[in-house]
Amino acid sequence: KAFKGGDVTVAFGGAKLDLRNAQIDKNGATLVLNTAFGGIEVLLPKDCNVVSDGVGILGGWENKFSSKDTKGGKLEITGTAIFGGVEIKE
């Protein structure tokens, strides 16, 4: 019930991480996303407080999620997209 974070690594493929029903731990959480020649899609709950700090190297890192001030914990998303992409959205 209290998501504390994790790591997702994708090579030559794709991943979809659906966290819409997750509750971020009150102390915060860190999610590390790395992809090479693939893609990662992350779906977040509407009341999530997100800080995205990823980089795309000949790829894309797109945060379509607009954070809202909430009383819940902060979710920090970091990582790298090499020849691939990361998309963060509701």
| pTM: predicted TM-score of the whole model, two decimal places | 0.90
pLDDT per residue as tens digits for the range 4-50: 999 999 999 999 999 999 989 989 999 999 999 999 999 998 888 89
* Residue 58: other Cβ atoms inside 10 A: 8
C-alpha pair distances (Å), 55 with each of 29, 51, 60, 61, 84: 19, 13, 7, 6, 11
Tell me: pLDDT of 67 over 80: no
In sequence order, which residues have a C-beta less than 8 Å from that of residue 56 and are 6 or more positions away? 80, 81, 82, 85, 86
* Residue 5: other Cβ atoms inside 10 A: 14
pLDDT at residue 69, rounded to an integer = 64
* Residue 13: other Cβ atoms inside 10 A: 12
pLDDT at residue 45, rounded to an integer = 86
